[in-house]
Structure 1
Amino acid sequence: MELYQLRTFLTIAEEGNLTRAAEKLFTSQPAVSAQVKQLEEELGVKLFERSARGMALTREGLLLQEKARRIVEAARDFKHSAEHLRDTVSGELVIGLNNRPEVLKIVEVLGALTAAHPELSYGLVNGSSGTILEGIDDGSISIGFFEGTCEHPRIEWHALEAVELCIAAPAVWARELASPDWKLLETKPWIFVSRACSYFRAIESICADQGLRLQQRFRVDECLTVLNMVAEGLGLTLAAVSHIESPEFRGRVVALPHFRTTVNLCVGYLRENADRPAIAAAREVILGLWEKEPESLNPPAWERALRTPRPKGRSHR
């Protein structure tokens, strides 16, 4: 029996759906299904009832759920305790990425960390902002980038910069959609992102404000592939202005004049893990690259005590 099998069991139990569990675990649905099957075979009990509505725990599964949770949490606490005993920053740092590497400066982040802490290893996982936050909250992600706001009470976070959003359209539709006619946009197909993405909430806000019923032709869990679909004339979407203006999409995708808004690009981690050496090192590198004060909405006492003078960056407040 492996710890990752127990994590998969717990995630499916919480989500009640293989697809959502796979997204949260940053793996494929077949892999999740195989892990459950292996665990059931090893235990000799059926853990889930499968139906068209999803996955429901059996009586045996319900009895084992809390025991599995205690095992996973004990293993995590054991690992964290060991990290505090080491004189060097080592172990594995799992970083959640919600955007393109160049936007998140991930090469610079990893370069600085590997130079300063050669014994530290890394896991990089990609997902929507909501999925990244869930991963931080459940402990599967050490530190992660996300956009929008964070409503998870256990997560400490810092806003890094504002990201401007707009409605993105195929360049061949530019003349037709040059005037801000919202009703005309209802006649066009739309590409929606995962409900866990901050862009989805922005689209919902547009619909509520303008009284629109947009035609969702596509739903894409991977946000970074959406603009390629727009460029090919498959529909409209909400996107970062900086992405539209990148060389890859210049002349292929245009920003419509109908709508502009901003969301914050942020980095977050569990508040209870804030003083772990690996997370503290990553936080300092990331905030330093964005020239930020190590300050959040609710800075803990340890961080205020350790804070040293540095040039002030733009506030996230």
Structure 2
Amino acid sequence: MDLRQLEYFVAVAEEQNFTRAAERVHISQSGVSAQIRQLERELGAELFDRSARTATLTVAGKAALEHARAALAAADAVGQAVGEVTDLIRGSLTIGMVIGCTVTPLFEALAAFHRAHPGVELALLEDGSDRLVDAVRSGTLDLALVGTTALPDGLQAMTITRDRLVAAVPAEHPLAVEGTVTLREVCAHPLVCMPPGTGLRAALDQACAAQDLRPTIALQASAADAIAELAARGLGVAVLSDSMAAQYGRLTARTIEDVTAPALLALVWKRAGSPAVRALLAHCRRAFAA
């Protein structure tokens, strides 16, 4: 009996079909059948009832299935443990990033991780922060860079930036002459801001709801530079974080004095991270600290 035979046995049991099982394990149907027959001879019992179109487990097969799964899981665990010790991390990671984000330290971290662990396949997906957090919780994403007003419950997190909201306007705009502005003063003008599902928009919406304000959202854009360019052309007051606004010399940024809840940019992941996730986090910490 070997692990290959157990893998084929589990595949047939789960697919209930020798042809589909053969496609799943990437060998011929005759090869799967031969290995299962050999396993049955070694065990002294038939594992499948082959009298119908569907391959169903016999009583002996049902008794063997969970033990076969446990043996395969144990073999995987052995490989993972040795990989951690020898730093031979394999597998894949799917990373999420809030739409419109251009945080180069994350890209530097991904590049450094790839150089150190070329055997790990990386995928990068963009989406709204709310959906990214849900995907991390469900396990669809291993790690995500999100914008939020509060660190999500039930997940591990590392805060990258903690910013105030600002109103950014051209020099000739009435708000440009003020040292600071109130949210009510800002909402007296059409706004250009991030779409719902982003951390900045959540911070704006929560602050407006607290003061019973209903701003006019003139335009929405997913990228900070697009918001800044629209505001520079007089299409509305840009609502950005102070670190974002500092990058656009064409605009004058005014702190919104009565919005104190910060807009956070954070990395989030599940508490039980894989070796690959832990290795990527180490690179992220170094990249964001630089």
Residue identity matched to 1:190: L
Indicate if the aligned counterparts of 2:231 and 2:238 stay in contact, CA closer than 8 A.
yes
Find out whether 1:280 has 2:278 as its counterpart.
Answer: yes
Alignment match, 1:112: 112
Alignment match, 1:305: none
Q: d(CA) in 2 for partners of 1:184 and 1:241?
A: 18
Residue identity matched to 2:199: S
Secondary structure, aligned partner of 2:213: coil
Secondary structure, aligned partner of 1:288: helix
Among 239, 252, 255, the residue aligned to 1:254: 252
Indicate if the aligned counterparts of 1:84 and 1:277 stay in contact, CA closer than 8 A.
no
Q: Percent identity of the aligned residues? A: 18
Q: How many residues were matched structurally?
A: 208
Q: d(CA) in 1 for partners of 2:89 and 2:136?
A: 20
* Cα deviation, residue 184, structure 1: 4.4
Matches within 5 A, 1:102-141: 103-141=103-141
Indicate if the aligned counterparts of 1:91 and 1:121 stay in contact, CA closer than 8 A.
yes
Task: Describe the shift of the 1:288–1:206 C-alpha distance in structure 2 as closer, same or farther (beyond 3 A).
Answer: same
Matches within 5 A, 1:1-317: 85-86=79-80, 87=83, 88-98=88-98, 103-148=103-148, 149-153=150-154, 155-173=155-173, 178=178, 180=181, 183-220=184-221, 225-246=226-247, 249-251=248-250, 253-259=251-257, 261=260, 262-272=262-272, 274=273, 276-291=274-289
Secondary structure, aligned partner of 1:105: helix
Residue identity matched to 1:178: E
Alignment match, 1:42: none
Secondary structure, aligned partner of 2:103: helix
Alignment match, 1:62: none
Indicate if the aligned counterparts of 2:192 and 2:218 stay in contact, CA closer than 8 A.
yes
Residue identity matched to 2:111: G
Secondary structure, aligned partner of 1:271: coil
Residue identity matched to 2:280: A
Task: Describe the shift of the 1:284–1:146 C-alpha distance in structure 2 as closer, same or farther (beyond 3 A).
Answer: same
Task: Describe the shift of the 1:173–1:242 C-alpha distance in structure 2 as closer, same or farther (beyond 3 A).
Answer: same
Task: Describe the shift of the 1:120–1:137 C-alpha distance in structure 2 as closer, same or farther (beyond 3 A).
Answer: same
* Cα deviation, residue 185, structure 1: 3.1
Task: Describe the shift of the 1:159–1:84 C-alpha distance in structure 2 as closer, same or farther (beyond 3 A).
Answer: farther
Task: Describe the shift of the 1:99–1:250 C-alpha distance in structure 2 as closer, same or farther (beyond 3 A).
Answer: farther
Q: d(CA) in 2 for partners of 1:84 and 1:144?
A: 28
Normalization by structure 2: what TM-score?
Answer: 0.60
Task: Describe the shift of the 1:203–1:175 C-alpha distance in structure 2 as closer, same or farther (beyond 3 A).
Answer: closer
Alignment match, 1:16: none
* Cα deviation, residue 206, structure 1: 2.9
* Cα deviation, residue 282, structure 1: 0.7
* Cα deviation, residue 236, structure 1: 1.9
Q: d(CA) in 1 for partners of 2:190 and 2:160?
A: 33
Moved over 6 A (4+): none
Secondary structure, aligned partner of 2:286: helix
Task: Describe the shift of the 1:156–1:84 C-alpha distance in structure 2 as closer, same or farther (beyond 3 A).
Answer: farther
Task: Describe the shift of the 1:182–1:94 C-alpha distance in structure 2 as closer, same or farther (beyond 3 A).
Answer: closer
Residue identity matched to 1:239: L
Normalization by structure 1: what TM-score?
Answer: 0.56
Secondary structure, aligned partner of 2:208: helix
Secondary structure, aligned partner of 2:244: helix
Indicate if the aligned counterparts of 1:147 and 1:264 stay in contact, CA closer than 8 A.
yes
Q: Deviations over 1:110-146 (max 9, x none)?
A: 2220221121221112233222212212222211112
Q: d(CA) in 2 for partners of 1:100 and 1:221?
A: 5
Structure 2 stretches of 5 or more lacking a match? 1-71
Q: Deviations over 1:154-200 (max 9, x none)?
A: x2222234234312224441566636365543331112433221212
Alignment match, 2:28: none
Structure 1 stretches of 5 or more lacking a match? 1-77, 293-317
Higher Cα radius of gyration: 2
